[in-house]
Each structure stands twice: as C-alpha cells, then as structure tokens.
Structure 1
C-alpha cells in the first residue's frame, strides 16, 4: 500500500512541478474549473494538483469534495495533502471526500487503507466540525474495523455535536458491540446526543436495542420519542407494544403518527394481537377526523384500522368522502376487514374510469377473494400506472403463474414497467440467465428512459455464476452514451471487484457556463411553489448544490413544474413530487451529477430525489422530520423558509399550480387557514388585514338603507387567506358591520377558511360547492337569500347587500 501511495504522490508532485509556473487563476475561475471537472466526472491530475495548492481555501475545499466524487485511486494523494490544510473547512471536506472515495473503490483496493488512516487522523482533529465530518466519513467508508475507531473516539469525545455525529453513524456498522455503549448516551443532558443514540438504536433492528428504545420512548424531547417508536417497525413484533399504545395519545402529533405506524407494522407481523377497547375507540375518532391539517395522521389511522380489522363505519364514511387519497386508503383497509360485499366494492372501483380509484382497487386486490387473478389481469391493463401498481401489489408472491405473468412484462412498451418487472423477477430469483439478459439490454440502447436498462444492469451483476459473458457485457455498457446506464454498469463491476475508471460524462458545457452558474449562485435565491394546499417558500442552498439549483431554477422559469403533482406522501417522513409522469419514474429528459455536502436534513429540508448515483432530474422531496441518514447521500437543494405546515397537509395527487424563482429577500408569505376563523386571528396572522379594514370607508347612502332592515340576517363566508380578493373584501365587510354598529341587521359573520382546492366542511358551509372565494352567503331564517361571489357586482359590498335584502325587505331602489 505504501508503495502505491508513494508512487501516486511522486506522480502528482511531478505534475505540480510542471504546472507551478502557470498563473494562479482567480478564485471564481478556479471554482468554475473544479465544477466543470466534477460535472464531467473527469479526474484530471494536472489541474486538480494545481488547484489543490490554490491560496483560496474555498477552492481547496471544492477540490477535496470533488475528488471524493471522481472515484480515482490517484485522488488519495490529493486528499492526504489537503488533510493537513490549515483551514478547518478544507479538512472537513477531506473527511467527506475520503469517506465517499473509499466507498467507490473496490473492497480489496489498498488505497482504502490509506483513506482509513486519514479518517482516523481527522477523528482526532482539534476542530469539532472536522471531527463531525470524519464521523460521517467513517460511516460512509464502512471500512473494516472502523466501528472500533468510532467507539474509541466516542469514549473520549466531550463535544455534544461530535458525540451526536458519531452516534448517528453507529447503525451502519455490522455487529452489536456498539448498542450497549449507545444506550448509555440516552442519559445525556443534550437532546441532540439522545436523538442520535435513539436514531442508531431504532435503525439497528436488533433485539439488544429494545431496552434503549424503551428508555427513548419516554424521553422529554418529542423527536426522540418519535424515533424510538419508529424503531418498533424493525425490532421483534410486540417488543414496544405498550410504548406504542401510549404513544397514540402523546401530546405531539409526530409521536402519535409514529405510534400509529408502529402498531400497524406490529399487527401485520403478529396478526394475533388485538388492540385494547380504549385503543379501538381512539382509533375510531382518528379515522373519522376530517381536519385538513391532520390528513396524514388520518391516513395512518386508516391503515391501522385495516390491520386491526376495526372501524367499519368510519372506513365506509371515508370511502364515501371526496378526498381521493383518503378514500383509496380506506378502500384498502376496508378490504382487509373481509366484510360481506367488500370484494364487489373493490371490483366496482377497478371498473371506474377514475385513475385514483382504479389504483386503490389494485392495492386492495391482494386482500380479496381471487385477488391474485385480478392482479395478473391488471398486469396487462392499458394504463401503465395500473400495470406498475399491480407489479408492486404482487409483492413476494413467487407462484409460477405470477412469475410467468411478470416475465411477459419484460417486453412492455413502458420502460418503467419493464424496469419494475426486472426488479420483481430479481426479487424472486426468477430472472433469465446472462444469455437472455444481454439481448434485453441491447434492446434498451437508445431509449429515452434508462430505468429498464439500469434494472437489467443491476440484475446482470447479481447473476450467479457471474460469467465472462456478463462481465464483458458490463464492460461494454460502461461506454454507453447514456451516463446513467454507464454509471450503473461501472457500479456493478465495482461490486464484483473489477477496477474500471469512472465513466466520464460529455456535459457539453463551455467554461463560461460554469462561471455563470457560480456567479448566479453567489446571490441569495429562492423558489416559490404554489400548491392547492398552500405555498412553499424555499431558500435555495446554492452553496451546496450550485449547478443543480441553477438547473431547477431554469426548469421553473420554463414553467416545467406547473400543474405537476405530489405523487408520494410518507407521513412523518417526506413528500415528493415534481415528476412529469406523476408516478415517481419521470424526469425532465436529462440527469444531473450529484452535488453532495453534509448540509443537515432537518424538518423542512428540500432534497433531490435519486434512483442511484448521478440520477437527479426534476423530482424534489421535502423532509417532514429530521432525517440524518439522508445527509451526504442526497443533494441538498434548500430549506423551507415557510410552508412546512403545507407539506404536513399535502395528499397524494395534490397539484403544483405554479412555481417561480427569485433573487434576494423572500416575498411576503400568505398562510392558509382552515375551518372557522376568528376576526382576532385574521388581524394577528394575516399581514395587512387590519389596515384594509380600518382604511375602508363604506358609502353612507347604502349604510342608511341597511340600518332600516327589519329582519335578522346571517352571513356565512367561504374565504381563502391566500386569496387577494378575500384579503380585500372580507376586511371591508367587517368595516361595514362595524359602521352599522347597534343598528346592524346582521349576526356576526361565520368565516370558514379553505384552500385552493375549494373543498370545505359542509357542516360549516352547507350552501353547495365553492367555486370562487370569497363567497359571502346571506341567509334569513337559515335559508339563503343571496350571495356575493369573489367581488361585488356593484363595486361595493354594502351596495350588493342592499340589492340582496331589497326583495326581502320590500325596499324600492333608485334607478342607477
């Protein structure tokens, strides 16, 4: 190993000597050069050696991160050089690069040992941030014995932030030596440390972790409790049963949702368990909860009701409701109950022309009589979404009939279906041999969507025995023009121990392009996403991912995201969307190279969805709770400055109405409020509300007529706090009522909030569908006598009210 490293250093030293006389580029130009090399996935020793000696620390930091992405053994020497840099930011980048590079070298490569040496050295660094990065690097590298270094450092570490970084990587290591040590940290005074310990215990899935998880389930920090209850899905069924039951009534919604998920998982694994009566009663209330802000928790309750085989009436009501995601989940749960007529109900849904109902039926087929036959038939459905859902619903069914039907989908016209079929057959150990896989791969050459080719590549790599034919095919694929397929083939060969250079990418960009990107990224940028449930305002992380942020902004400016959907909602975890296919398999027609840093994934972090290295396109996700396992593995695109509550009420299928990008400070944020809204809350939470009311002067002639009304009238208002007309007209209505004072014929108005979907609680607003907001309904004796829709016809609400009351009061109005 020392011989290899010494030779590499000598080569780089010679290169450095050659380039030493060249002028030093300005920092902006140097960073653009690094970005160009990283985007092309090209390890070019001469410029990298020169740039690693640049006087600007930011350039050296960029080099260290880039070297980690370029998968060249020659990069080890550069990282060793930079590991002694005086700037902590550079050494932190070295720790990240070393961990990443080690993960991309063959397992038996001697350079991995050298990288491990650097990581061990950096774990002792005097700067906490460097030690934190080295902890991540150790988890990423997963070198033999690295768990012992981490535990050794943990026994000496005093900084809570570094303790947390070490603890949250422990679950990645084999064995269980670390579990007892991690459990002791549940007594830490620092919530970050307790959370990190609970995180590794929860993800380990080991029986030895149960004691620590029980302790964490009673922690004072709700996120620690949530993580502990999430661990119930991985340990032995029932190990945390009492903690899960208690969690359902926790004061924190995140803990309640984790408890619902854990109970459902336990009942699936151990169907003999029964929820206690008080648990069933609580579950009935949750299944029937129609509050829009708690819809994701309601879906989890519905899933638990299916696993517990209870709550029939509440499930029927949810199925009959107008929310497609909720109704579909209720259908699946209802099918699990085995009620008389449930089979027929599922078949009726499948016969519908409505795609969400058909998809729900496919998901429910596995719970009904002759469901396998229905799913096999669905594999040949005209709609690709149905075929994909059927493949997923067949799960692990490895019967000959099912396997034969799935093999037919290898010829499917849709590349996503072909890919899913390959993965399904691989999971059943039913793939054909290399002799048949290679021709299938050749057929994928030139297709616009590489998913099927990538699935075939991965399957070819797993073939046993791994034949010379399979190896030769993968070596050819490394040269494919599609960078995703080439990268997948390279990764497959790497797993088989083959040493092949990382395929370069023909980015087709001039140097000026990268300079422009970095200039653009040097200013504060934001992305605003307007959905039917509210607005997300994202502060873009251009420092972590300048090129990916730039290209996302380009897509937004081209209106690419308008009218797309959120296709994935995982309560308590993520919401994901921005896919033109709407099913998770689509993209913008190009892929981007990953730009990975150690930016944290807290609640409200925005990341780039991936299906493998360097596969990012247009799909973005938002984390709903802290998710440290994503750090350094998914590009960090930004952070929600506003709108986390919107993400928490998104449903599958919700539309993105429009997006826009901007520079500088974020625009004013308009929150959405649902249900009954008090005047005091509007004054307090909606900017400009009070000012609009106080500045409006109603016309006196119409006020005088309104004061003469003899009957009493009600006012029911459907409004949107996000809507400009609502923010203008409803404060004016309030001003009119204040001006009328004790002579007003109107009861205080009932203000009912809704979002852009216009769905509304019919108990609060029993006057038909809301098409536009605001809609002001005027009633007498409980019956409608007229309404003002969006904006007054006459130009003022007070005049419109006079026209509505005139026929009832018998007023004669002057001719206008």
Structure 2
C-alpha cells in the first residue's frame, strides 16, 4: 500500500486534531413557545423530563417558563419534587412564589397521602414563607395551601390570621380552616376561639368575610357554635344563610329551642338552594326527636307539600327542597310526612303542565318511596312508585341503593344508650342479581355488600366473570365482604384484567386482601408500577394496610401514544340543550385537554340522551354518564389539569374516582365549595343558563351538546 509523503501526513494529522478540538456549533436556543410545548408534553405524560422539568421550575431565566414548569409539577404531584416547589417559595419574582405556593397545596392534596416527613417539611416551609411574604395575593395562596395541608402547625397559623375580622387575612384564613376541618375532621378547628369566628359572621360591608365565617362554622360542627349559627340565619346573603342552616342541622337542638323555628322561616326564603339546605337540616334534626312529644322539625317539613304544585307548574327548582328531604331520609316516626308529600305529588301530577313536569313529579315520588323503603330495610314502595312513568330498572336501582343504607333501629326507635339490634341481611336483593339490567345488578350488589347473606355467595361468584366490568368489580368487592373463599379463582381471573381495565383495581384489591391476605402481596406490588396512577395508589394503600408498613408507589411516565384529545381553543363554549332550557359553559384555556376531551365527545354526539344522574341540592348537579348510575365513561381516561379557578357558584368540574380518572362525567356547583379547589379539575364556568342549572333534577335529559366560540 502506498504511503503519503511525511509532510502531507503531518499536515493531515494536525488538521484532524484541530477538527476534534473545535466544538460543534451550539443548537439554536428554543423559543418560549417550544419550551412551553415540551412542558405540556411532560405534564401530560407525567414525566420530569429526565430532571429538565425540575431545572426549569427552579432556574429558568424566563419567569413565565418557571411558572409554567411549577404548574406542571403541581399537576404531576410527585413528592420527589418537594425541594423544587419549596425553593420557589423564596423566589425573587412574586408570580413564581405564588405558583410555588399553589404547587405546595397540590402536593398536600395528593391522592396518595404525603409521607409524614414530607408533611412536616412542607408545613415548615409554608409557615416560614407566610410569615415573611410581603405580597398580599401570594400570602392568600399560602394560607389556602396551609388549609389543604391541615397539619397542626398549619392550623395554628391560620387561627392566628383570623383576627381581626376586618383584617386582610381573615377571609382566606377562615375558608382555609374550613377546608382543613373538611380534610382532617372537625377536631382540626376545635381550638379556634369561638369569639373570633363569631366576629366573622357579624353583618358587614364585605359579605365575603361573612361567607368565610359561615363556612368555618358549618364545617367545624362545634356545639358552642349554635348561637352564632342562629344569628347568621338572618344574614340575607343566600350562601351565608345556607351554610348556617347546614351547620344547625348538625349541631342544633329540637324541642323548646329556636332552631326549628329559624329553619322553618328559611324554608320560605325564596332561594331554592337555601330552602333545600333548611329542609335537609330539619330532616337531620328530626332524628333527635324523642318519642312522645310532637316533633317540631317534622311539623315544619309538612309545609313542603305545596311545592308539589309548583313543580307541576314547571318550576322544577321548587323540587330541590323535596329532593333534599328524600335524600336525607327521616326516622320511622316521620313516615306520615313522607306519605303526605307523596300524596301532594300525586295530586299535583294530575294537573301537570308538561311532560317534563310529569317526569319530575314521578321521580320525586320514587325518591320518597325509596326513603320509606330505607326506613324498613326492604323493597316495597319503589315497586309501585312513579305513576307508571319511571322505568323498572331505574326504580329498582334507586330502591336497592337506598335500602343498602338501612341501619335498623339505630335511626328509628332505639333510645340513647340502648344497643341497636343486628341489622338483617339483604336476602331480598339476591333475586335481582340476575336482573337483565346491569345497573340493577350493581345496585343489588351494593345492598348485599352492606348487608351480606350466605345465600348470595354463588350468584355473586358467577357475576365476577361477567362481561360488564362495573358489575364484575362490584361482585368482587361483595365476595370479599362475604369472605367467600370459593370466589378466589374467579377473582384471580378478574385481577388479570386490571392492567387493561384499571377501573377494576379498587374493588379487586379489596377483595384480594380480604380473601388472600399476605398472599395477595406479589400481585399488588406488580401494580405499583402500573401506568395508571389510580391503580398504583390503590396498590400502595392496600399494601400499607396489609403489611402495616407505609408503602408508596413510583411515578410512571406514560407512553407518548397515550390518549390525548386535541386542545380546546381559547373561547370555546359548550351549550347543553336540556328539556329545561340551555346551559352555556365557557371553557378555561388553562385546562385545554379537559375541555378538548368534552369537545371531542360532544362532536361525536356522545351526550345525546344522557341524563343528569346525580343532583344534590345546594351542592352539585352531575351528568355525562351513559350508564346513568355514576359508574360509566367513554372507555378512556384523561389526566387532571388542576387550575387556579375556585369552585364558586356555576363552576364546572370534572368528576373523578381517583387521580387522573376523568372521562365524560362533569358537574356544576350550585354554591361555593372551597374543599373541591385543587382536588377536581375546574375547567369552566356557566355564562348563561344558571337558572336551568338550579332547575335540574335527577333524570333531566341532555338532548345534545353544541360546540361554539365566544366572541372576545
């Protein structure tokens, strides 16, 4: 082989050496939009981008990028990012501190609870940040996050910020304390000075302070709050009055006290959600009535009979007080009241103005029939309710779910201090396990799960292997309650379906633990790395219970081809056409995938003929489930996109059964619900048709959902 001349060889080698030492040209810097798109992708795949997302959250030179990265960390909710979130609390830019404070609250609300050391560290960081924060809005966010955390240290700070009532922090602190009481139990607010709370509900120019004080009163459930609750019933602000009525239902008294009188006056207040709360409170107080003397709360509830005629006239919102009583239920001595109201409904039905009014009256009749069946613990009244207009499957499912709540004499005739007799099993539900409707089969399983009987074992076992995943899961859970060891082969076969049907996880895990004990541990540990967050949470909680030692799941990055609906453009609206009128929702640009998912479903006609299956007066109206029992969905799930939108009156949220389990079910809030903030994706608001939302009753049909655009 010929050689190159020496001079040429040396020159060539020098050129090669230079080429090796000159660095390649740097890639062009990413545009902000490109960085934001990467963050969005990581967020949706629950990825930290190999550490890049944390780096952007802590050190990105662009403030907007840092804020967006912190929002992604808030939505991912990985305890491993705690240091990055805490670092943001001391950032120079107030927008970064504010977003970090929000992210801290989201970590506190993790569906899989934080380890104790993380809770301690987060408490210390938030307490220090709140003590030194100069910006008012950031400080309010810090107070909100302390409420979500609900540790003793957090409660101590919030209590200190309650006073003076006219101060800048009293409203946020009171609301946050109410949230803490909802999360950690009423004991969380047990040591808050009552005088400080009373000062918040005294009439003042800023009704928001009254609302926060009333929320704290209602959630704390303290016996020493009765006087304050009585006084704020006359506040004049509907939501304040509703909260105070709710509080009196929990801690008020009957007999010679003024509580029944005050609540009876609120029944005629004129705002449906307030009247519904007063009716519910009176139903709660009726349980406290002793045998013998007249029960004043029951006498007050008889006055609801005239509302049947209003519903017949097409004023469906007047049915909310009736629905609240039926849902709450009455003690056995209240049975004549339930019958009185049913008689009024039947009379009103004969003169109803529209088919929609007929449908509402028929359903309310079945609601009261089911409340009567709950009193005796077996089906009777629902078998003939609804004037022939309510389908059998719907009547049976309602009745079975209600009798599942039967508590025997403990809520009927047992006197204080007396032991309640054993609650009999739900043997009457066994034949309904073979009903043609999966909704009825599911309801029968609910009744048997609460009140198991041996004769249910074989038919329940057969349902575990059925094609309906919802029924199979409920059957598995019931088999666990029945301690049916013979169900184990079918249960193990169902467990094999969990990787592809993650909604089964909770029921299957509970049954595995009940029937296998520690032998279930290997399978549950496999689930700790499942791509679906809720499967991992269920596995971790089950293993913690099984082993007695804390177990946490790992964060799992989702594959790039995970279902991701096209984002809804800013200004997108959804108009729900119902038989009571139209409701128009403006979607939040801050939750583009959640909105985009519903837009895609609407364009497919998914919601046509679907009902509002759940209405809880003064709380929510929920729809979007094609099954009609709250268990259905579109066959896919989307990730949560927690926003900064609070749950005020008319907020639209995504219904969940765990983290990242959104599908097609959504809800409207009738009134402020601070305990939902940051827990369920709030993705829009009602911009027209709130009166229709107020008129929704269970069974109201959605004829269609139209997609539109609101002019800027």
Same fold by TM-score, threshold 0.5 exceeded?
yes
* Alignment TM-score, normalising by the size of structure 1: 0.69
For 1:438 and 1:489, the matched residues in 2 are separated by 19
Q: Which has the higher contact order (CA 8 A, sep 6+)?
A: 2
Is 1:36 the equivalent of 2:57? no
Instruction: Determine the structure 1 residue equivalent to 2:538.
Output: 488
Does the CA contact (< 8 Å) of 2:426 and 2:447 recur in 1?
A: no
Name which of 425, 432, 455 aligns with 1:378.
432
Name which of 148, 155, 159 aligns with 2:156.
148
The alpha-carbon distance between structure 1 residues 210 and 408, as it changes in their structure 2 partners (threshold 3 A), is farther
Instruction: Determine the structure 2 residue equivalent to 1:216.
Output: 232
For 1:299 and 1:393, the matched residues in 2 are separated by 26
Does the CA contact (< 8 Å) of 1:526 and 1:540 recur in 2?
A: yes
Q: Give 1:170-319 correspondences, 5 Å limit.
A: 170-171=180-181, 172-174=183-185, 175=187, 176-178=190-192, 180=194, 181-187=196-202, 189=204, 190-235=206-251, 238=254, 240-268=259-287, 270=289, 272=291, 274-275=295-296, 279=300, 282-291=303-312, 294-298=315-319, 300-301=321-322, 304=325, 307=330, 308=334, 309-310=336-337, 311=340, 313-317=343-347
Instruction: Determine the structure 2 residue equivalent to 1:58.
Output: 64
Instruction: Determine the structure 1 residue equivalent to 2:451.
Output: 397
Instruction: Determine the structure 1 residue equivalent to 2:3.
Output: none
Name which of 114, 118, 121 aligns with 2:121.
114
Deviations 1:301-330 (A, max 9, x none): 266487332325314335766633432331
The alpha-carbon distance between structure 1 residues 431 and 36, as it changes in their structure 2 partners (threshold 3 A), is farther
User: Match of 2:42, SS?
Assistant: helix
The alpha-carbon distance between structure 1 residues 230 and 637, as it changes in their structure 2 partners (threshold 3 A), is same
Name which of 508, 513, 535 aligns with 1:456.
508
Does the CA contact (< 8 Å) of 1:302 and 1:315 recur in 2?
A: no
For 1:442 and 1:363, the matched residues in 2 are separated by 24
The alpha-carbon distance between structure 1 residues 615 and 277, as it changes in their structure 2 partners (threshold 3 A), is closer
Instruction: Determine the structure 2 residue equivalent to 1:709.
Output: none
Unaligned stretches of 5+ residues in structure 2 = 1-25, 409-423
Aligned residues: 632
The alpha-carbon distance between structure 1 residues 642 and 102, as it changes in their structure 2 partners (threshold 3 A), is closer
Name which of 701, 706, 709 aligns with 1:655.
701
1:547, distance to aligned residue in structure 2 (A): 1.7
For 1:153 and 1:22, the matched residues in 2 are separated by 51
1:363, distance to aligned residue in structure 2 (A): 6.1
For 2:665 and 2:460, the matched residues in 1 are separated by 28
Please state which structure has a larger fraction of its residues in helix: 2
Is 1:95 the equivalent of 2:101? yes
For 2:30 and 2:476, the matched residues in 1 are separated by 49
The alpha-carbon distance between structure 1 residues 304 and 550, as it changes in their structure 2 partners (threshold 3 A), is closer
1:113, distance to aligned residue in structure 2 (A): 2.9
Instruction: Determine the structure 1 residue equivalent to 2:551.
Output: 498
1:621, distance to aligned residue in structure 2 (A): 0.8
Deviations 1:527-557 (A, max 9, x none): 22212221111110122x1221122222222
Does the CA contact (< 8 Å) of 2:615 and 2:621 recur in 1?
A: yes
For 1:220 and 1:394, the matched residues in 2 are separated by 45
User: Match of 2:630, SS?
Assistant: coil
User: Match of 2:658, SS?
Assistant: coil
User: Match of 1:289, SS?
Assistant: helix
For 1:365 and 1:49, the matched residues in 2 are separated by 51
For 1:74 and 1:337, the matched residues in 2 are separated by 52
Unaligned stretches of 5+ residues in structure 1 = 1-20, 667-816
For 1:649 and 1:610, the matched residues in 2 are separated by 24
Name which of 168, 185, 189 aligns with 1:158.
168
1:49, distance to aligned residue in structure 2 (A): 3.5
User: Match of 2:553, SS?
Assistant: coil
Does the CA contact (< 8 Å) of 1:487 and 1:503 recur in 2?
A: no
Instruction: Determine the structure 2 residue equivalent to 1:330.
Output: 365
Does the CA contact (< 8 Å) of 1:319 and 1:328 recur in 2?
A: no
User: Match of 2:583, SS?
Assistant: strand
Q: Give 1:271-670 correspondences, 5 Å limit.
A: 272=291, 274-275=295-296, 279=300, 282-291=303-312, 294-298=315-319, 300-301=321-322, 304=325, 307=330, 308=334, 309-310=336-337, 311=340, 313-317=343-347, 323-334=358-369, 346-348=382-384, 354-359=392-397, 362=400, 372-392=426-446, 396-398=450-452, 409-421=463-475, 430=482, 436=488, 439-440=491-492, 442-445=494-497, 449-458=501-510, 468-480=518-530, 482=532, 484-490=534-540, 492-493=542-543, 497-508=550-561, 517=567, 521=569, 523-543=570-590, 545-665=591-711
Does the CA contact (< 8 Å) of 2:613 and 2:628 recur in 1?
A: yes
Does the CA contact (< 8 Å) of 1:68 and 1:75 recur in 2?
A: no
The alpha-carbon distance between structure 1 residues 284 and 497, as it changes in their structure 2 partners (threshold 3 A), is same
For 1:107 and 1:276, the matched residues in 2 are separated by 43
* Alignment TM-score, normalising by the size of structure 2: 0.78
Does the CA contact (< 8 Å) of 1:287 and 1:299 recur in 2?
A: no
Deviations 1:331-389 (A, max 9, x none): 452576799xx987644459986544444555677899x99554332233121111233
User: Match of 2:64, SS?
Assistant: helix
The alpha-carbon distance between structure 1 residues 400 and 287, as it changes in their structure 2 partners (threshold 3 A), is farther
For 1:493 and 1:22, the matched residues in 2 are separated by 48
Task: Tell me which structure has the larger Cα radius of gyration.
Answer: 1
The alpha-carbon distance between structure 1 residues 233 and 143, as it changes in their structure 2 partners (threshold 3 A), is same
Instruction: Determine the structure 1 residue equivalent to 2:76.
Output: 70
Deviations 1:209-245 (A, max 9, x none): 3333223323232211101112244336648433322
Does the CA contact (< 8 Å) of 1:409 and 1:421 recur in 2?
A: yes
The alpha-carbon distance between structure 1 residues 651 and 255, as it changes in their structure 2 partners (threshold 3 A), is closer
User: Match of 1:178, SS?
Assistant: coil
Does the CA contact (< 8 Å) of 2:540 and 2:553 recur in 1?
A: yes
The alpha-carbon distance between structure 1 residues 235 and 58, as it changes in their structure 2 partners (threshold 3 A), is farther
Mean Cα displacement is larger for which, 68-77 or 215-224? 68-77
1:591, distance to aligned residue in structure 2 (A): 0.5
The alpha-carbon distance between structure 1 residues 373 and 103, as it changes in their structure 2 partners (threshold 3 A), is closer
Deviations 1:733-785 (A, max 9, x none): xxxxxxxxxxxxxxxxxxxxxxxxxxxxxxxxxxxxxxxxxxxxxxxxxxxxx
User: Match of 1:390, SS?
Assistant: helix
User: Match of 2:657, SS?
Assistant: coil
1:147, distance to aligned residue in structure 2 (A): 1.2
Instruction: Determine the structure 1 residue equivalent to 2:11.
Output: none
For 1:661 and 1:410, the matched residues in 2 are separated by 40
Does the CA contact (< 8 Å) of 1:324 and 1:356 recur in 2?
A: no
The alpha-carbon distance between structure 1 residues 162 and 278, as it changes in their structure 2 partners (threshold 3 A), is closer
User: Match of 2:684, SS?
Assistant: strand
Does the CA contact (< 8 Å) of 1:577 and 1:621 recur in 2?
A: yes
The alpha-carbon distance between structure 1 residues 47 and 499, as it changes in their structure 2 partners (threshold 3 A), is same
1:28, distance to aligned residue in structure 2 (A): 1.9
For 1:151 and 1:364, the matched residues in 2 are separated by 40
For 1:195 and 1:394, the matched residues in 2 are separated by 42
